[in-house]
Amino acid sequence: MSSDFDYKSLTMEQLLWAFEGVQFKRPPRWHQWVSLAFAEDKPRVCFWHGVGTGKTLAAYYAAMRKGCKNILVVCPKHSISAWLRDIKWTEYSHAVISGETPERKAKMASPVNVHIIPFHALKTVFSSLKQIPGTTPVATGLTEEKAQDMVRKDKNLRVSKSRTAPGTYNVVKPKGRRWTIDDAEFSKYPFDCLIIDEIHRCNSSQSTQSKICKKISERVSNVIALTGTPVDKVLLELFHIYEVVDLGSTFGTNFWRFRLEHFVEYGLDYRVREGHDTIILQQAMPITLSFSKDECMDLPECTEDVILLEPTSEFRKLERRIILQKPINVKGCKAVFGEGSVRSGKLKQLSGGFLYLPDDVVYNLKENPKLEAVMDLLENTGEKIIIWYLFTEVMKMITKTISVPFVQIGGGMSSEEVVEAQRKFQEDPSVRCMVCQETCNEGWDGFAAGITVFWDLIISPRQREQCIGRMLRQGQEKKTIVYDLVLEGTVDQRVLDDHKKRQSEIAIYMDYIQQFETRVGE
């Protein structure tokens, strides 16, 4: 078919006729059949299907139709459960690349059809930490005793004899180590297909994981890229994503030329030139298929609501002192926060109900309206609830207070621990609550929940959609609700209002600080 053919015009009857005799363990839905038809004669494709629409199964089936036998699936750690869930509908054998580095490399060599590797593990398999040549001087002209004393206090330092002042010693610091890609590693694994889930993580050409994905892409004959949210802020992000997928066939290989042609500077960022958004998307269309949630599923109603909370007098006092750069005296710690970016961070912490102070001191506010609101929801509803948080301290507050059975997902957990927490939340009726870090928002089923709560408000539309998509996805059969916990008259309200304006995070907080200072001045 021609590249401008409208695949979405195909009816279910036409699709079943086109794929007559093709059998799958789980029959594809209409949009999945369309995806297979679209990918049939294209070695490299992008499925930009909405969050929770069944992209993983579509990718497996597309690989099967292409006759792929040795597939590498790259995905976020928290998406592994989805890939394990859907592989049972195929004849493929599989291995999850987990454990320490030697174990990961051993599993990569296992004779299976599908190797599932989380993004963070790519570096340990395909690259290694190597010392950067050279050192940085720390102190010169010292006696040997003083030099050795410095090294005893800081194990990262080294002593060397001075060449310019005989009899004295210098203390230097090695420049450190960096991840260096090992080209020889790629030839060990003869993959014929690369599937990259949540490929928006490859939107930076400088990241090691993007470089590795691109090198693998260069060596395979088929690439399938998936994400429900390809762009978070500006279409400029698409350049590096497509460079990984098709090695520059869509947008070329010169980033600076692409940016100059289609974008103009906008403050510290860039925005697309008028009318060029259509040009960019038309360039991507030949290898890109996109379905919204509404096109794929008849989902039940989801309501978004705000729980407006009154800040405590303690909160207002601390907020004022942070913004006006006045000392905060709590728990024997005296702190003044100067730079705007630091004050912005402290306001975000304060909205969560705590402050990180110097010398590893953590101060929790005496009363926390958000914690009381969460307790009310757990006590007065029979629904399972997913609570999204940003800071570890918030997780500690919640898990110490709630009395219902819960599971949690956060940084530092192994792939196996994450998969087990997700399984328990979905399958165990007694588990009422999932306490989940905002960064762990991709690729898993949480449709057992009926309520999603944002404790810390998210500025990124992409992250917010992913978080809601854990609950509002294929398999959801009941009405759902999303709550934002908002402290009235605070920066919380500015963040909520910005979901449409889409400023940068620092711009929102600085605007709030500056307007606060203006009001105080009056």
d(CA 418, CA 413): 6
Angle, helix 491-501 to helix 340-352, in steps of 10 degrees: 110
Sorted by sequence, the CB contacts under 8 Å of residue 54 that are 6+ apart come out as 29, 31, 32, 296, 474
What are 367's two structure tokens?
Answer: 């009363």
Higher-pLDDT residue of 488 and 339 is 488
- For residue 521, the model assigns a pLDDT of 44
Nearest to 60 by CA among 84, 42, 41, 76: 84
d(CA 370, CA 309): 7
- Please state the rounded mean pLDDT for residues 134-153: 85
Domain residue spans of the chain: 7-127+182-296, 133-175, 302-521
Q: Which residues pair with 385 in a beta bridge?
A: 433, 451
d(CA 190, CA 219): 8
Count of all residues that appear for the chain in the document: 522
- For residue 513, the model assigns a pLDDT of 46
- Please state the rounded mean pLDDT for residues 31-54: 93
d(CA 442, CA 187): 30
For residue 255, is pLDDT > 60?
Answer: yes
- Please state the rounded mean pLDDT for residues 183-199: 94
| pLDDT per position as a tens digit, 64-80 | 999 999 999 999 988 99
Which CATH entry fits the domain spanning 302-521: 3.40.50.920, 3.40.50.300, 3.60.10.10, 3.30.450.20? 3.40.50.300
Most confident of 167-171, 391-395, 500-504: 391-395
- Please state the rounded mean pLDDT for residues 229-251: 89
Phi/psi of residue 324, nearest 5 degrees:
-90, 10
Q: Could you say which DSSP state residue 200 is in?
A: G
d(CA 8, CA 179): 43
- Please state the rounded mean pLDDT for residues 136-150: 87
b or e along 399-431 (b: 16 or more beta carbons within 10 Å of the residue's beta carbon)?
A: eeebeeebbbbbeebebeebbebbbebbeeeeb
| pLDDT per position as a tens digit, 286-296 | 999 988 888 88
- Tell me whether strands 114-118 and 71-75 are parallel, antiparallel or unpaired: parallel
Q: Which amino acid is at 394?
A: V
- For residue 522, the model assigns a pLDDT of 38
- For residue 294, the model assigns a pLDDT of 81
d(CA 263, CA 13): 43
340 CB-contact burial (10 Å; exposed 0-12 / middle 13-18 / buried 19+) = middle
- For residue 514, the model assigns a pLDDT of 53
∠ CA 287-293-295, nearest 5°, is 75
Higher-pLDDT residue of 493 and 8 is 8
Contact 166, 141 (CB under 8 A): no
- For residue 164, the model assigns a pLDDT of 81
143 CB-contact burial (10 Å; exposed 0-12 / middle 13-18 / buried 19+) = exposed
Indicate if 302-521 has the same CATH topology as 7-127+182-296.
yes
Contact 369, 310 (CB under 8 A): yes
**Which numeric CATH code is attached to 7-127+182-296?**
3.40.50.10810
CA dihedral sign, ordered 185, 187, 191, 197: positive
Band (512; pLDDT cuts 50, 70, 90):
low
| pLDDT per position as a tens digit, 422-471 | 999 999 999 999 999 988 888 788 989 999 999 998 877 778 888 998 99
Nearest to 122 by CA among 34, 244, 13, 22: 244
- For residue 30, the model assigns a pLDDT of 94
Cite the beta strand spans of 132-168 per DSSP E.
Answer: 135-142, 158-161
For residue 208, is pLDDT > 70?
Answer: yes
* Residue pointed to by tokens 């291995």: 95
What are 297's two structure tokens?
Answer: 């599923």
- For residue 24, the model assigns a pLDDT of 95
Helix (H, G, I), strand (E, B) or coil at 422: helix
d(CA 139, CA 312): 50
Contact 291, 474 (CB under 8 A): no
What are 164's two structure tokens?
Answer: 């310019």
What are 381's two structure tokens?
Answer: 């509803």
Cα 329 to chain centroid distance, Å, stands at: 36
